[in-house]
Amino acid sequence: MEKRDYHMWSDDEDTVLVSLREAGHPVKHIAEVMERSVSSVTNRIYIKRVPLVARQMEMDFGHMPESQEETPSILSRIFSKLLG
């Protein structure tokens, strides 16, 4: 993506950003759709405080959060063997 001059985020862009993020789209995809840098989108998500839901965490980090996994994590299994 070619670098372009900074321009302010419009209310419409904020709406699209929040909708895409809540629908579970990863930051890289949102940046491409909105023709913004990944850094710009990441910063705007932080500023707007758009929550990261479990599906997004799986897409962004390659796994579900521990609280939603059906199998115990490796650390949980190790601790249960040591303490149990």
Q: What is the DSSP string of 40-56?
A: HHHHHHHHHT----HHH
**Predicted pLDDT at 13:** 95
The answer to the question of residue 4 being in a domain is: no
The answer to the question of residue 78 being in a domain is: yes
Expressed as residue numbers, the domain containing 25 is: 11-83
* Number of domains composing the chain: 1
First-to-final CA distance of the chain: 53
**Predicted pLDDT at 69:** 47
The answer to the question of residue 63 being in a domain is: yes
The answer to the question of residue 1 being in a domain is: no
Kindly state the average pLDDT of the residues 3-10: 78
More confident residue, 74 or 30: 30
Q: For 28-70, how does the pLDDT look when each residue is reduced to its tens digit (9 = 90+)?
A: 999 999 999 999 999 999 999 887 665 555 555 555 555 444 5
pTM exceeds cut of 0.85: no
The answer to the question of residue 2 being in a domain is: no
